[in-house]
Structure 1
Amino acid sequence: MSTPSKPIVVETTGTGTHQVSVAAQGPTFYVDEPVELGGLASGPTPYELLGAALGACTAMTMQMYARRKGLPLDRVQVAVSHSRDARTGRDRFDRSIYIEGALDEAQTARLMEIADRCPVHKTMSAGADITSRQVDGPSHEGNVLPRDSSHALAMAAACDRFDLTG
C-alpha cells in the first residue's frame, strides 16, 4: 500500500445552507449547491468536482503520453457530464474529448485509448474503499505542501503499462 497523501481539509463555513471551504494544493475554494437547491452557487458541486477530476486526469494523462511519444498534440479539452439512472441508481459520467494537433488516425486512436487508462477513470470504474473515523479535534493540515504526489506517479505508470499492453 502506498503512503497516504496529506489530507484535503473540507469544513463548513456557516454561510448558506451547503457551502464548505476546501483547503487543497493552491488556493482554498468553495464547494456549494445551486441556488435552486438551497445553496449560494459559490463553487462547484461535489459531483462537478468528480467530473472535473475525471476530465483533468484524462487530459493530463493524454498530454503526458503524447509528450513521451513525441506526438504533435496541441490541446485536449474534456467536457464531462453526470447523470444517474433512475431505475438502477447507477451514476454515469460521459466524456466528450476534443483533441487538437497534427495527429494521424492511429495517433488519435491511441490517445483515445490512453484516456480510458487515466488513474481517476480506473478508480471511478473500479470503485474505492472509503473509511471513516471520528477524531478529537480539527485538522490543521490544510494547504500543507507538498500535497498528493500519487496522481502524477499513477499517470506515468498508466502510460508505461499502456506501452506494454496496448
Structure 2
Amino acid sequence: MCKWHRLRSKTTKLLEASLASCTGITTLMYLNLKAWAVSEIHVNITTILNLDTQEKSLRKEIEIHGNIDKKQLAQILLVASKCPIHILLEKNITITSSISII
C-alpha cells in the first residue's frame, strides 16, 4: 500500500469519526432533554465505494441500549440526522480555494 493510500484512509476515518461523534452528541443531548432511559449509544459509520461509478456514500448505523419504543426510535433517528456534520455532508458542497504569499 502506498503512502498516499494510507493517508487517504486516515482522512476518511477522520471524516467518519466526525460524523459519528456529532451524531452521538446530538442524539445524547436530545435523549437527556427528553429524560429517556438509555444506557448506551453506539454510532458506526462505514464508507462505501461503488466500484462501477467510483461514487462514495456513507452508511450510519445507530445502536440504542435502553427501553425505547418504536415511536421514540423514529424521533431519535430524525434528530440524529440533524447534527451539523450530517447536514453539511448531505448537501452539495462547493469548495473555493485560494493561496497567497505573505
Q: Which has the larger radius of gyration?
A: 1
Greater RCO, CA 8 A, separation 6+: 2
CA-atom RMSD in angstroms = 2.1
Deviations 1:12-65 (A, max 9, x none): xxxxxxxxxxxxxxxxxxxxxxxx2336x69x6111111111111111111111
In the alignment, the residues of structure 1 paired with residue 94 and residue 29 of structure 2 have an alpha-carbon distance, to the nearest angstrom, of 28
Q: Report the equivalent of 2:18.
A: 53
Q: Report the equivalent of 2:50.
A: 85
Measure how far apart 1:67 and its partner are: 1.1
Q: Report the equivalent of 1:134.
A: 99
The structure with the largest helix share of the pair is 2
In the alignment, the residues of structure 1 paired with residue 87 and residue 17 of structure 2 have an alpha-carbon distance, to the nearest angstrom, of 15
* Superposed structure 1 runs of 4+ greater than 6 Å apart: none
Q: Report the equivalent of 1:110.
A: 75
Deviations 1:123-154 (A, max 9, x none): 111032312111325xxxxxxxxxxxxxxxxx
Percent same amino acid among aligned pairs?
25
Maintained 8 Å contact 1:57/1:120:
yes
Structure 2 length normalisation: TM-score?
Answer: 0.82
In structure 1, list runs of 5 or more residues that go unmatched: 1-35, 138-166
In the alignment, the residues of structure 2 paired with residue 37 and residue 123 of structure 1 have an alpha-carbon distance, to the nearest angstrom, of 30
Deviations 1:71-108 (A, max 9, x none): 22222111111022223332111112111122222212
Maintained 8 Å contact 1:71/1:107:
no
In structure 2, list runs of 5 or more residues that go unmatched: none
Residue 99 of structure 1 aligns to a residue whose secondary structure is strand
AA in 1 matched with 2:55: R
Structure 1 length normalisation: TM-score?
Answer: 0.53
Q: Work out which of the residue numbers 27, 37, 45 in structure 1 matches 2:2.
A: 37
Measure how far apart 1:70 and its partner are: 1.5
AA in 2 matched with 1:119: P
